[in-house]
Structure 1
């Protein structure tokens, strides 16, 4: 059975991905990481008969990332890791625009360096796994093609860092394609979470389900690509075709 690591699993998409994966018979261990305490995640883990293991991890702290990877290695008991889902991230607002934003460094540390540090730390475990998949949760607001369309959204640091995550994804995909890895960026859609807000398009349950469909069905042909979910009734917005860079 496949093993998973999910970062940012304390709430929102990460928590729902953990919940839905734990209901699948083909899934073995799920290492759900969270920066702080999460009663909902702990409750989910207690009801999982040991399938969900909660790991403390702040992705913006490289030392904490290394410690978490060591804990996961112990939990795998000599086996490899199959799938890494880099989901942890922050979205900060800057009402005065790009030139005045003071949060780019913090956003970059969490959203880009965090993905890099986590990926680098878990690559050795993935190399011993069967599936060798890495899904980096991104967003179409980071698409340069869509820059003018999403310009009114007052979160320039978030947009910039998601663009950077996409570029980072491609570099890792090229570096590890000869080892059989499938590494891709994935937009889960605009979801009704604490980050997405109540006005968002999709429920977190529907977004997580569509996200898992993409992750579970991905093959080496998707290596280095920017995937988008498929959701009925949304036309081209969520038609399952690749998102533009």
Structure 2
């Protein structure tokens, strides 16, 4: 007797952190519109239109990340997008605060590593096997201060650390066939980017999705912008 599995029910799955607003929310909507199963991770309450599943996650809390891993045990994940991030203090060295600095590092650099570990088995069970770390050109040692002098020490340091995390994960996960990317979304017009930002959130999200969807092992460990431009480390 042959099986009558409806192949339309077999969908690829993307998990997106920081999906309650801004870039994360736009990415969730794009993937849902493309027929993907979307697991949108949010810290508080959030409602979504369409087939988007909200999942509670506080990326600043390792216990919350571990709980997410347990809740999703056995769920195949094709793409993990580490999008959640915070900026922290922008006043420069004079106003640098230890607790603020460590919180930014915890959210922007440590959480993606903990999520990659917690969801490793899920990614191995997926078809695409991609981790996309939403980084920033601000974390590039070569380009990060070329056209601005903002005093956001914590943010810049955290994104530089995230870029190294991408390279290390790419090395460690190459044997598993998992592609790991660092992606610069541009200066996006969101709550974090502010009203003066020059990249509409829809433009950034569409560009990022196109890169993620086409990425393979040849791209693992790379750093590029939403528009495809390679960024120097």
TM-score by length of 1: 0.86
1:226 alignment partner in structure 2: 223
Change (3 A) 1:79 1:63: closer
Q: Kindly indicate whether residue 24 of structure 2 is the aligned counterpart of residue 36 of structure 1.
A: no
2:57 alignment partner in structure 1: 57
Change (3 A) 1:226 1:22: same
- State the distance in 2 between where 1:166 and 1:13 align: 19
- State the distance in 2 between where 1:220 and 1:172 align: 12
* SS state at 2:119 partner: helix
- State the distance in 1 between where 2:48 and 2:118 align: 28
2:17 alignment partner in structure 1: 7
Deviation of 1:94 after TM superposition, in Å, equals 3.0
Give the alignment's Cα RMSD to 1 decimal. Answer: 1.3
Change (3 A) 1:133 1:147: closer
Deviation of 1:241 after TM superposition, in Å, equals 2.2
Deviation of 1:148 after TM superposition, in Å, equals 3.5
2:231 alignment partner in structure 1: 243
Q: Is the 8 A contact 2:137 2:144 kept in 1?
A: no
Q: Kindly indicate whether residue 88 of structure 2 is the aligned counterpart of residue 92 of structure 1.
A: yes
Ranges of 4+ aligned residues in structure 1 off by more than 3 Å: none
Task: Specify every segment of 5 or more residues in structure 1 that has no aligned partner in the other structure, as ranges.
Answer: 231-239
Q: Is the 8 A contact 2:93 2:153 kept in 1?
A: yes
Task: Specify every segment of 5 or more residues in structure 2 that has no aligned partner in the other structure, as ranges.
Answer: 1-10
2:71 alignment partner in structure 1: 71
1:24 alignment partner in structure 2: 34
Deviation of 1:99 after TM superposition, in Å, equals 5.7
1:110 alignment partner in structure 2: 107
Number of aligned pairs? 221
